[in-house]
Structure 1
Amino acid sequence: MTKIFAHRGASGTFPENTMTAFEHAAALGADGIELDVQMTKDGRLVVIHDEKLDRTTSLTGYVKDYTYQDLKTGDASHRFSEKTGFVPVPTLEEVFDWAATGDFLVNVELKNSIVRYHGMEEKVMALISEYQLQDRMILSSFNHESLVLCRRLNPEIELAALYMDVIYQPEQYIEMIPASGFHPYLRSMSEHTIKNAHQKQKAVRPFTVNREEDMKRLMEAGVDGFFTDFPEKALQLKKTMS
């Protein structure tokens, strides 16, 4: 059965990568939440997609140049400010503390391709262990070297390689990491991608799937899961198709 992941939380209707968006996704009954991790100047893991703060917060400049104390003064309500009021950028620890009380999957994307945050993998692994989330965790990244390091640090954690362009035989490529799945950009995959992956016992979870016709097509093709900004729409469709 196709699993529905709330992309940056229920980010189509609430501010992305905030506790508000994650809590709403969990309340809807999403199978999982997806979030992005960057690191502050003083080494705190914070949940935000962009390397720069400008698009989604009231601050400007790079996450890496802020201490956490300074960063948490920024409003992350983005285009939903009238709906939510002030919303802070959460720490990964804060999200894990909340997630530990639930039973949904958690996909953490390591945002370390543009800024190579030294020590990020070790810190994420330590928190996963502290909150005992190993069995509900998927770590993904566009930085596949980082995934190789994650595999060395913990052979048990589920890993998935993110990619944008068409890759020839991704189900074989990810054996080098090794990862148990891959998360392609929706337009860079086909139904053959799913069939070939399943023959090698690899999971396929494309992003970002917001159109109902794409959701339906993927569910019919037996995709393992997908990431959507509108989990409520996907869950409703899944119910009608089951």
Structure 2
Amino acid sequence: MVVAHRGAAGYAPENTMAAFYKAKELKADYIELDIQITKDGEIVVIHDQKVDRTTNGVGEVKEFTYRELTKLDAGEWFHTKFRGEKIPTLKQVISEFYGQMGILIEIKHPALYPGIEQKLATLLSEIVGEDNLSESQIIVQSFDFELLQRLNQISSNIPLGLLVKYRVQGISKAQLKDWTSIVQYINPNKALITKKLVKKIHSYKVKVIPYTVRDKKSINGLVNAEVDGIVTDYPDYIVDFMINRKSS
């Protein structure tokens, strides 16, 4: 699976509709995005807990109402041609792309937003339908396993992924058994991927989607390690690699 990191973030301002449309144009299978919650309880798509880096505003997302966020420009920082891009709501993104592409949702900074798992589960159920979630091509991931456990208790139908930023080769079988009791994906940093590790994770009947590829030279090793997908800022790099690999 080709997973477009924050949309096609190499070509358009991350986590904007422009980036998600670009990902679709480049034939990504999934778009990956990050969520935060506004002062008035709207789930919005933005990576940082502050708006400073990717908009012309200053301050924490949770201190803005959604109406206030819509007044910020989320595109010009990347390039002037994206002036006017806004921070989208998660509902807007799902409504636009659900059924056309998979959607990989990362819950950021859950401690800042008590109850975010319930709010997200409710939104997904309303849009997709509780009975359809397990086959919906919507995945929720986080570095916080306890958060994923809470989400699984609320809705066991939501496919889950555990992000891993440290070496997992040394993780015990008991730990992997614990993780894979609820998650369908274990997604490590790409630097941690080896064929042995992927085989070990696959033995627990879960998939592996490493993050984040920003260069072409990383692709071959990941594909040879038999990962199930790759998160990338440049979806076309992976698409072109796979096309060339098949043709050769």
Fold equivalence (TM over 0.5): yes
For 1:118-129, list aligned pairs within 5 A: 118-129=114-125
Classify the secondary structure of the residue corresponding to 1:80: coil
The C-alpha deviation readout for 1:161-218, integer Å capped at 9, x for no partner, is: 1121113337753532421111111113322111111122111111101221211211
Question: Is the contact made by 1:174 and 1:181 (CA closer than 8 Å) also made in structure 2?
Answer: no
Q: Please list every run of 5 or more consecutive structure 1 residues that lacks an aligned counterpart in the other structure.
A: none
**What is aligned with 2:224?**
220
Structure 1's 78 and 110: CA in aligned 2 closer, same or farther, altered over 3 A? farther
Normalised to the residue count of structure 2, the TM-score between the two structures is: 0.90
Q: 2:192 aligns with which of 188, 198, 210?
A: 188
Tell me how far apart the structure 2 counterparts of residues 82 and 170 of structure 1 sit (CA, whole Å).
50
TM-fit CA distance, 1:46: 0.4
Tell me how far apart the structure 1 counterparts of residues 172 and 38 of structure 2 sit (CA, whole Å).
33
Q: Does 1:74 align with 2:72?
A: yes
Q: 1:176 aligns with which of 175, 178, 202?
A: 178
Tell me how far apart the structure 1 counterparts of residues 187 and 214 of structure 2 sit (CA, whole Å).
15
Q: 2:208 aligns with which of 204, 210, 220?
A: 204
Tell me how far apart the structure 2 counterparts of residues 236 and 111 of structure 1 sit (CA, whole Å).
31
- CA-based RMSD: 1.6
Q: Which moved more, 1:65-74 or 1:160-169?
A: 160-169
Tell me how far apart the structure 1 counterparts of residues 172 and 14 of structure 2 sit (CA, whole Å).
29
TM-fit CA distance, 1:152: 0.6
Q: Which amino acid aligns with 1:143?
A: D
Classify the secondary structure of the residue corresponding to 1:30: coil
* Identical columns (%): 35
For 1:1-242, list aligned pairs within 5 A: 3-100=1-98, 102-113=99-110, 115-132=111-128, 134=133, 135-167=136-168, 168-169=170-171, 173-177=175-179, 178-242=182-246
Q: Which moved more, 1:173-182 or 1:4-13?
A: 173-182
Structure 1's 137 and 88: CA in aligned 2 closer, same or farther, altered over 3 A? same
Give every structure 1 segment of 4 or more consecutive aligned residues whose post-TM-superposition deviation is greater than 6 Å: none
Structure 1's 160 and 235: CA in aligned 2 closer, same or farther, altered over 3 A? same
Count of aligned positions: 238
Tell me how far apart the structure 1 counterparts of residues 62 and 213 of structure 2 sit (CA, whole Å).
30
Q: Which amino acid aligns with 1:75?
A: D
Normalised to the residue count of structure 1, the TM-score between the two structures is: 0.93
Q: Which amino acid aligns with 1:213?
A: K
